[in-house]
Structure 1
């Protein structure tokens, strides 16, 4: 599994209805994209648990070829044409779990990026983070959880998708506008090392 995300931060007075309409019109285009485990079309609005207006899709790829085909193809070029070319973050997958509400459509997502301290032993810190991610999947309303690592920055990415409002877990809160999940069943479950 590979995780990927880009963030498009928009002006404070931006009409976020434009993003909602964009996703309503184009979100289905990746519903059968080869190599895509899932794409959560994430948005957060200034003043609603967020200091900024932001469109920040997050992808879990079941195959790197799918990720590469997307980044080099017409889908991502549409983003570039409309918003400019954003920096695309990438993390190697460490764990994935289907939640107790796996069959539900997620309404909210929580994303937390955690820098591992230079003094931290990754061999101890990462298994503990994976256990926490897998435990979150057992909570009521959890649709799915994932944990991934950027080893260039020694940064963990925690993602959780929720059927309704997320419980009190740390991180940035997003509304899920759409979920494309053509190869969700091909995402490896549990720890991935």
Structure 2
């Protein structure tokens, strides 16, 4: 599993209805994309617990070939043509879990970064994080959750989809989910990814 996200920060007075319309008319195009575990079409709107207007899709890829096909194909080219070429963040997958609300349509997503401490061997820190992630994913309202790591910056990333429109306040950055494409969600596996 590979996690990927790009963030397109928009002007404070940007009409976010344009993004909602974009997702409403184009979101379905990835509903059957090979290699895609899931794509959450995410937004944050200034003034709604966010300092910025932002379009920030988040992907979990079941296969790297799918990610490459998207990045070097017409899907990402549309983003580049409309908004310029954003920085694409990516993380190596560590764990994926379906939550108790896995059958629900997610309304909210959260993203939380946690640095891996210098004083702990990476293997121990990751094993502890994976065990904690399995417990966190069993909480009420969780649709699905992924844990990944950026080994360049030694930072863990927890990404969680919530059934409720409001995720718990202490979960990190919050996003509204406009659409979920999940053609190969079942291929993301369960639990530890190695």
Provide the TM-score with structure 2 as the length reference: 0.96
Please show how residues 86-97 of structure 1 align to structure 2 within 5 Å: 86-97=86-97
- Of 59-68 and 137-146, the range deviating more from structure 2: 137-146
**TM-superposed deviation, 1:128:** 2.1
Q: Which residue of 1 aligns with 2:181?
A: 180
Residue 168 of structure 2 is aligned to residue 170 of structure 1: no
* Structure 2: segments with no counterpart, 5+ residues: none
Residue 106 of structure 2 is aligned to residue 106 of structure 1: yes
Q: Which residue of 2 aligns with 1:142?
A: 142
Distance 1:46 1:122 in 2: 36
Distance 2:42 2:182 in 1: 14
Q: Which residue of 1 aligns with 2:151?
A: 151
- Of 100-109 and 122-131, the range deviating more from structure 2: 122-131
Q: Calculate the aligned-residue CA RMSD, in Å.
A: 1.0
Please show how residues 32-181 of structure 1 align to structure 2 within 5 Å: 32-164=32-164, 165-181=166-182
**TM-superposed deviation, 1:3:** 0.3
The CA deviation string for residues 72-116 of structure 1, in whole angstroms up to 9 with x for no partner, is: 000000000000000101111000000000011000000012222
SS of alignment partner, residue 96 of structure 2: strand
Distance 1:137 1:75 in 2: 30
Distance 2:94 2:75 in 1: 27
**TM-superposed deviation, 1:12:** 0.8
* Structure 1: segments with no counterpart, 5+ residues: none
**TM-superposed deviation, 1:120:** 3.1
Q: Which residue of 1 aligns with 2:24?
A: 24
Q: Which residue of 1 aligns with 2:9?
A: 9
SS of alignment partner, residue 123 of structure 1: helix
**TM-superposed deviation, 1:129:** 1.8
SS of alignment partner, residue 157 of structure 1: strand
**TM-superposed deviation, 1:21:** 0.6
